[in-house]
Amino acid sequence: MEIAVGEMLHSRSEHTGKPDPLVGVVLVDRYGKELARAHRGSFGHGDHAEFTIFEKLTSDEDPVGGTLYVTLEPCAKRERPKKPCAQRIIEKGIKRVVIGMKDPNPEIYGRGVDLLQKHNVKVDYFDEDLKEEIKNINKEFSDFMNEQKKEKKMHPQKIEAPSLEELRSVPEADLKDLSYDAIRKYLKLLKLKYSVPSSKLWDYFLKTKFVVNRQNRKVPTLAGIVLFAKNPEVFLPEHRITAEHFTGTPEDGVSLERISQDGRLDIKGPLLQMVEMAERFYKDKVGRVPRLRNFKRVERDYEYPIEVIREAIINALIHRDYAVGAHVSFRIFRDRIIVKSPGHLLFPNTIERIRSFDVTPARRNQRLADAAFNMKRMEREGYGIPMMPIRLREYGLRPPDFKYDGGYFSVIFYGREKSSPAFGIQPEIREQLTSRQIDIINLAFEQKKVTSQEIRNKFKITRETANQDFTKLLGLGLLVRKGTGRATYYVLGRLRENDDSLA
């Protein structure tokens, strides 16, 4: 800890118009041996100390299972293509991080700790006397950040207000247009005991804004139609899902002739029924593959986790803009699944924030979102999207991507064909690998093969270091050697327990 504090004093500032924090870091391996020490700006102005120690000082070392002592909480958010320091720590396999002080920057405070703990990294703190010394040395930076927080309180960036569209009455509809079966299912999931139909039920629906009084009669609102109408598309033509299964990839085209036999379905009905129909369409069209579950081999499971597909579908229905006359699109391709819903992202969320899984709960349709959550059909607000990469990794798949284009928000899930097998490496094996060795696997996946010369040039390492990497990967069966002499190259081995054959 004292070494990290001493190193902190050598930090170099990046900006001239505002103070930067002084940061020192020390990396210790799993046996207690110091691997390196660094400070902010050790080699270049603005370089974070964690970046320096991992990428410039110990790129040839194996820090898995080690401890990182850092005077300031690691950042959990950086503008692309830069990677947050907390993410680097997780990828390097560090098991314990000891922190001097939390970052007073309101956009970081506590988030770095949360991210580390969420990935089972143990977080401890410096001794009290050292914590006070670090705070005193960084007082100028802390005071500046506190002023920034005060300024934001005086001029707050408000979360965009919910839409009132879901509360508008649908006067051409009647209570008789509601499905009693859908209502009973809703009441059962919420453990509510109302007779269907009954005056007490309608009084409850008045309170929840599923119906309103209009000219001496009860009329369903848009929310009531979406949740319970027998045929909601009669009143809301835009409330439907167009589900399509294509034989190829998006690059092959999305014309009708590329849709598989019986590969198109117009999904309509009460909301829960639509979600269930979309799930059945998914299960019918997506193949089963061998995989692991809880480290035990199971015979076969769907290529993508059903919970992630369900979350994307229900999010598309719940958070879409019902003032826009367009439907939800659910497209299944050979190598990916795309779910598109109409409507812009609600402030303060941006596509950049969503891609970093930094989601601020913002509801366009509050009543629909409450109903879906209460029925346990979607994750708690703000948790659905951040949970997606965790579940996908369990299936050996890469994190999802997100796009906003032409008034549509899209979620893209990539299958095995588009996911490096490195995502499917068993955790106990992954812990033995450095980030560079994982990058070598990814390169072999992208190029189909790699050579020692390519690796030395790309990562700027010596022949001896490259040989050590290849020996490790060959020994674990992650790569296979082909050819001899100067013609030697390496291809992927069996990276997943659920792979049926070697590359």
Query: What is the DSSP secondary-structure string of 20-51?
Result: ----EEEEE-TTS-EEEEEETTSSSTT--HHH
Residues 251 and 320 in one domain: yes
379 a catalytic residue:
no
Which secondary-structure segment (H or E) carries 331?
strand 328-332
Residues 249 and 383 in one domain: yes
Phi, then psi, of 394 in degrees rounded to 5: -60, -25
DSSP 485: G
Residue-level pLDDT, tens digit, the chain, 503 residues: 899 999 999 888 766 667 888 999 999 999 999 999 999 988 877 789 999 998 889 888 889 999 999 999 998 876 656 788 988 898 888 999 999 999 988 778 888 888 888 888 899 999 988 999 999 999 988 888 888 776 655 555 566 667 788 999 999 999 999 999 999 999 999 999 999 999 999 999 999 999 999 888 999 999 999 999 999 999 999 999 999 999 999 999 888 889 999 999 999 999 999 999 999 999 999 988 765 444 345 556 889 999 999 999 999 999 898 888 899 999 999 999 999 999 888 777 778 878 877 777 777 888 998 998 888 776 655 567 888 888 888 888 888 999 988 789 999 999 988 887 777 777 677 778 887 888 898 899 888 899 999 999 988 889 999 999 999 999 988 899 999 988 999 998 865 444 443 33
Residue in 337, 336, 325 with CA at minimum distance from that of residue 407:
325
Say which residues have a Cβ less than 8 Å from residue 42's Cβ, sequence separation at least 6: 10, 12, 49, 52, 56
Residues 125 and 27 in one domain: yes
CATH of the domain at 379: 3.30.565.60
Amino acid 403 reads K
For 343-462, list the strands marked E by DSSP.
Answer: 401-405, 408-414
| Selected catalytic residue, list 7, 14, 34, 50 | 50
Parent domain of 118 = 2-154
Task: Report yes or no on 497 lying in a domain.
Answer: no
Residues 112 and 192 in one domain: no
Residue 93 Cα to chain centre, angstroms = 19
Taking each helix axis from N to C terminus, what angle separates 180-189 and 271-285, rounded to the nearest 10 degrees?
Answer: 90
Task: Report yes or no on 498 lying in a domain.
Answer: no
By the 8 A CB rule, do 293 and 370 touch? no
Task: Report yes or no on 10 lying in a domain.
Answer: yes
Find tokens 């803009």 and name the residue. Answer: 321
b/e burial code for range 345-365 (CB count within 10 A of at least 16 → b):
bbeebeeeebebbbbeebbbb
% of the chain surpassing 70 pLDDT: 90
Find tokens 């799993």 and name the residue. Answer: 30
Q: How many domains does the chain have?
A: 4
C-alpha angle with apex 68: 429 to 456, nearest 5 degrees?
Answer: 55
Q: Which two tokens stand for residue 420?
A: 């490096």
Amino acid 230 reads K
Residues 276 and 374 in one domain: yes
Residues 319 and 459 in one domain: no
By the 8 A CB rule, do 444 and 492 touch? yes
pLDDT in tens, 206-228: 999 999 998 889 999 999 999 99
Residues 295 and 392 in one domain: yes
Residues 82 and 208 in one domain: no
- Asked which of 189, 208, 231 is the last residue of a domain, the reply is 231
Rounded CA gap, 422 and 99, in Å?
Answer: 30
Task: Report yes or no on 44 lying in a domain.
Answer: yes
- Asked which of 364, 392, 418 is the last residue of a domain, the reply is 418
Rounded CA gap, 432 and 111, in Å?
Answer: 27
**Count of CB atoms situated within 10 Å of the CB of 419:** 22
Task: Report yes or no on 459 lying in a domain.
Answer: yes
- Asked which of 370, 394, 418 is the last residue of a domain, the reply is 418
Residues 174 and 100 in one domain: no
Task: Report yes or no on 503 lying in a domain.
Answer: no
